[in-house]
Chains A and B, each alone.
Chain A
Amino acid sequence: MPLTVGSQLRSTSSTCEVVVVRAPGLEGTVYCGDAEMTSVAAGRPATGSTEGPAVVLGKRYEHQPSGLELLCVKPGPGPLTFNGAELVLKSAKPLPASD
Chain B
Amino acid sequence: MDLLTLLEMVATGMGDRVLVGERKDGLTGAQLRDRAATGGRLLAGTGARTVVYLGGNGPAFPVALFSAAAAHVPFLPLNYRLSDDQLREILARQEDAVVVTDTSERAERLAPHLTVLDLDGFLDRCASTVPNATLVSGGQEAVAVLLMTSGTTAAPKSAVLRHRHLTSYILGSVEFASAEETDATIVSVPPYHIAAVANLLSNLYAGRRIVYLDHFTAAEWLAVVRAQAITHAMVVPTMLSRIVRELQESAATAPPSLRSLSYGGAKVSAKVIADALRLFPGTGFVNAYGLTETSSSIAVLGPDDHREALDGDDPQVRLRLGSVGRALPHVTIEVQDDHGEPCAPGVVGDIVVRGAQVAGEYVEGGSRLDERGWFPTRDLGYLDQDGYLFVQGRADDTIIRGGENIAPAEIEEALTTHEAVLDCAVVGVPDEEWGQRIAAFVVVKPEHRCTVEEIRAHVRTRLRGSKTPDLVRFIEELPVTATGKVLRRNLVADFAVR
A interface residues with partner B (beta carbon < 8 Å): 5-6, 8, 19, 21, 57-59, 71, 73-75, 92-99
Contacts and interface: CB of A to CB of B under 8 A. Distances in A.
Chain B interface, >50% SS class: mixed
Contact of A57 (B174, B175, B176, B232): B176
A12 B297 CA distance: 38
Given A21-B171, A57-B9, A95 B300 contact: yes
A99 B171 contact: no
A98 B300 CA distance: 7
Given A96-B303, A98-B202, A98-B300, 9 more contacts: A19-B5, A57-B13, A57-B177, A75-B12, A95-B329, A98-B264, A99-B198, A99-B202, A99-B262
A97 B262 contact: yes
A79 to B, nearest CB: 20
Contacts of A59: 176
A19 B297 contact: no
Contacts of B177: 57-58
Contacts of A75: 12
Given A5-B356, A6-B1, A73-B5, A57 B284 contact: no
B379 interface: no
Contacts of A94: 175, 178
Given A19-B5, A57-B12, A96 B302 contact: yes
A59 B178 CA distance: 11
B296 interface: yes
Interface in B1-34: 1, 5, 8-9, 12-13
In the complex, which of the residues A5, A19, A73, A95 has the most CB atoms of chain B within 10 Å of its own CB atom? A95
B145 to A, nearest CB: 14
Nearest to B197: A99
5 contacts: A6-B164, A57-B12, A96-B262, A97-B206, A97-B260
Given A6-B1, A8-B1, A8-B5, A95 B12 contact: no
A10 to B, nearest CB: 12
Contacts of B303: 96
Q: List the 8 shortest-distance A-B pairs measured between CB atoms, nearest first.
A: A58-B176, A98-B288, A99-B199, A98-B297, A96-B302, A92-B175, A96-B286, A6-B1
Interface of B: 1, 5, 8-9, 12-13, 140, 164, 167-168, 171, 173-178, 185, 195, 198-199, 202, 206, 208, 232, 234, 260, 262, 264, 284, 286, 288, 296-297, 300, 302-303, 328-329, 356
A95 B232 CA distance: 14
Contact of A99 (B140, B168, B288): B288
A97 B176 contact: no
Contacts of B262: 96-99
A10 B302 CA distance: 37
B167 A6 contact: yes
A75 B15 CA distance: 14
A70 to B, nearest CB: 11
A5 to B, nearest CB: 7
B202 A97 contact: yes
B455 to A, nearest CB: 38
A16 B176 CA distance: 16
Contact of A74 (B12, B171, B296): B12
B296 A99 contact: yes
A99 B234 contact: yes
B70 to A, nearest CB: 17
A44 to B, nearest CB: 12
Contacts of A58: 9, 13, 175-177
Given A73-B9, A99-B195, A6 B288 contact: no
Nearest to B177: A58
A21 B164 CA distance: 11
In the complex, which of the residues A5, A57, A74, A96 has the most CB atoms of chain B within 10 Å of its own CB atom? A96
Nearest to B173: A95
A89 to B, nearest CB: 13
Contacts of A57: 9, 12-13, 176-177
A51 B174 CA distance: 30
Nearest to B286: A96
A97 B286 contact: yes
A97 B195 CA distance: 12
B140 A98 contact: no
